[in-house]
């Protein structure tokens, strides 16, 4: 019990902060209400630092993933938190400034920041999960708060509609992967991931076990916005406020990939770095279709949020290439370790995806209406240089343009895929990177050039400085983090260690005896 508590100290810190912000967010004093995000920021920083120093978990299937994942989640959570400034209670605070009384019933600040911290807590718990029940609860704690955050992020009916779509499809996704978990339990007799891995290594994948793995992966496709569970993404991203869309681009996706890594690690990669044939074929098809669907549909959009939504879908396909590549041989270097490449790319994507969303949130076409149409970015590098160059740097980084951080992340996926012999899917990855260059360079061209077919829409800078700070930090991150890319890659490599089950002679004897018993029962029948 003490070992479990020591493992979740960062989550306990975030839970305490969640209880505090629910109180301060509703306080009649304006000064106390305004420290609410600062409380959340301090808690995230403390949780990240504690997570960074978390000891490996003995006996776990993925014993070293928690320190890297929790530190990454905490620091990117700080960036997302800064970007969330001014999302809720804008009109309420204006009324208070005009002398009207503060009405707690109208305030959403406390709930909003509490839901944000709950979601980050669930994401950290996902990184700690060593059991299917724990994994399910952590995934749902990550997702459930985001449904409410989408609904209250704007006063528009679009956000309410987006939240309803997101909720019902999220419930469907949860039901699917929970059913998959039930089948896995039925096939192995255990919910512990290490014991499931031991069972699969000893007995192989039974039909029920195979069905359970495939159904669970299908449900997790909703979390990462991958085919065939990707349809909600553009509507939800466009309906939510830009800062909340930035959160959706990272938090559920990170939770989904941590879950996929745990499930595939339990199945195990065979000689030559291949998953069992049925599982590998399914993931191969999902990855290929996800990349093509995301990139091709992004070409047809004029809404920047929808472009970024389809881009998010495509990036999920890119990271599935690392899942297919697997961890490589024991002690394999970073460029041969697909799981390390995925963990590294999650951090990279978290940094660079915030930038463009932060720019959209920092621009307004009219009072409290965020910029979204791509024409709103026209000539931005001249009219608002910091925001314009943020769009340029972040778009180029998502493209994988050297020498920006996104290039290093994408290079890891390419190298691990080639090393594992997954040449066809690597070729598809290359083709889709070229397709993606079209709409990324379109964003760059619009922001850098000021020529168009008509007058550019009038946009003004939002009064919420946090969004501009988040945009600046994101743009700086895709450049400055190159200096620590090697230590980050090494940390991801250590995090991707899998303690493979040791198969003893007694295990094989018991497995053969159990098989013979089943054959005898069938013969007697």
pLDDT band (50, 70, 90) for residue 98: confident
pLDDT band (50, 70, 90) for residue 25: confident
Q: For residue 92, what are the CA distances in angstroms to 24, 96, 154, 289, 406? A: 16, 6, 13, 45, 40
Which region holds residue 368: left if phi is over 0, alpha if psi is between -120 and 50, else beta? left
**pLDDT, tens only, 32-52:** 888 999 999 999 999 999 988
pLDDT reported for residue 247: 93
Which of 2-6, 19-23, 67-71, 379-383 is least confident?
2-6
pLDDT reported for residue 2: 66
pLDDT reported for residue 518: 47
Give me the number of domains the chain comprises. 1
pLDDT exceeds 70 at position 520: no
Q: Is 289 exposed, middle or buried (0-12, 13-18, 19+ CB in 10 A)?
A: middle
pLDDT reported for residue 525: 43
pLDDT, mean over the chain: 87
Tokens 């929808």 identify what position? 306
pLDDT exceeds 60 at position 504: no
pLDDT band (50, 70, 90) for residue 465: confident
Which of 23-27, 162-166, 167-171, 330-334 is least confident?
330-334
Rounded Cα gap, residues 464 and 361, in angstroms? 9
Tally of CB atoms within 10 A around 222 = 27
pLDDT exceeds 80 at position 510: no
Task: Indicate if the alpha-carbon torsion angle 136, 170, 374, 364 is positive or negative.
Answer: negative
Q: Are 410 and 318 in contact (CB under 8 A)?
A: yes
**pLDDT, tens only, 301-318:** 989 999 999 999 999 999
Higher pLDDT among residues 186 and 92, named by residue: 186
pLDDT band (50, 70, 90) for residue 522: very low
pLDDT band (50, 70, 90) for residue 368: low
pLDDT reported for residue 453: 61
**pLDDT, tens only, 174-232:** 999 999 999 999 999 999 999 999 999 888 889 999 999 999 999 999 999 998 888 88
Q: Which residues pair with 131 in a beta bridge?
A: 192
Rounded Cα gap, residues 399 and 411, in angstroms? 12
pLDDT band (50, 70, 90) for residue 352: very high
Tally of CB atoms within 10 A around 50 = 18
pTM of the model: 0.91
Rounded Cα gap, residues 117 and 39, in angstroms? 11
Rounded Cα gap, residues 42 and 50, in angstroms? 12
**Stretch 120-127: mean pLDDT:** 94
pLDDT band (50, 70, 90) for residue 157: confident
Residue 140's domain comprises 2-524
């Amino acid at each position: 019990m003490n070992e479990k508590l020591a493992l979740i100290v960062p989550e306990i810190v975030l839970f305490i902060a969640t209880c505090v912000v629910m109180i301060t967010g509703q306080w009649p004093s304006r000064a106390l209400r305004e420290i609410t995000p600062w409380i959340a920021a301090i808690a995230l920083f403390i949780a990240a630092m504690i997570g960074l120093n978390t000891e490996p978990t003995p006996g776990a299937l993925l014993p070293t993933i928690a320190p890297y994942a929790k530190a990454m989640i905490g620091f990117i959570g700080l960036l997302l938190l800064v970007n969330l400034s001014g999302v809720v209670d804008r009109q309420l605070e204006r009324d208070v400034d005009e002398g009207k009384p503060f009405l707690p019933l109208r305030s959403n600040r406390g709930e909003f920041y509490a839901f944000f911290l709950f979601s980050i807590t669930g994401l950290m718990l996902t990184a700690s999960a060593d059991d299917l029940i724990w994994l399910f609860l952590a995934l749902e704690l990550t997702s459930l708060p985001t449904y409410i955050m989408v609904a209250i992020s704007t006063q528009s009916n679009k956000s309410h509609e987006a939240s309803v779509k997101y909720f019902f499809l999220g419930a469907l996704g949860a039901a699917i992967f929970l059913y998959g978990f039930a089948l896995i339990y039925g096939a192995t007799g255990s919910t512990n991931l290490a014991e499931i891995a031991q069972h699969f290594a000893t007995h192989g994948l039974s039909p029920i076990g195979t069905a359970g793995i495939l159904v669970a992966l299908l449900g997790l496709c909703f979390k990462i916005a991958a085919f065939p569970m990707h349809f909600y993404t553009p509507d939800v991203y466009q309906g939510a406020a830009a800062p909340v869309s930035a959160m959706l681009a990272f938090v559920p996706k990170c939770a989904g990939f941590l879950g996929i890594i745990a499930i595939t690690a339990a199945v195990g990669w065979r000689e030559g770095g291949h998953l069992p044939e049925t599982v590998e074929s399914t993931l191969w098809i999902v990855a290929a279709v996800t990349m093509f669907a995301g990139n091709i549909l992004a070409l047809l959009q004029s809404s920047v949020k929808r472009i970024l939504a389809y881009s998010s879908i495509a990036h999920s396909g890119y990271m599935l290439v690392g899942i297919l590549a697997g961890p490589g041989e024991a002690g394999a270097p970073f460029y041969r370790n697909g799981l390390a490449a995925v963990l590294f790319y999650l951090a990279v994507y978290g940094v660079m995806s915030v930038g463009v969303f932060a720019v959209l949130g920092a621009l307004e076409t009219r009072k409290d209406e965020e910029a979204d149409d791509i024409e709103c970015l026209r000539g931005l590098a001249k009219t608002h240089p910091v925001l314009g160059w943020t769009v340029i740097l972040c778009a180029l980084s998502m493209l994988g343009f050297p020498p920006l951080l996104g290039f290093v992340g994408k290079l890891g996926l390419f190298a691990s895929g080639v090393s594992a012999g997954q040449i066809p899917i690597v070729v598809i990855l290359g083709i889709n990177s070229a397709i993606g260059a079209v709409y990324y360079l379109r964003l760059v061209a619009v922001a850098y050039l000021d020529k168009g077919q008509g007058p550019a829409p009038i946009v003004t800078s939002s009064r919420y400085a946090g969004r501009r700070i988040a945009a600046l930090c994101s743009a700086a991150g895709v450049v400055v983090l190159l200096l620590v890319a090697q230590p980050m890659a090494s940390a991801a490599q250590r995090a991707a260690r899998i303690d493979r089950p040791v198969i003893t002679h007694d295990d094989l004897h018991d497995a053969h005896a159990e098989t013979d018993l089943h054959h005898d029962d069938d013969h007697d029948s």
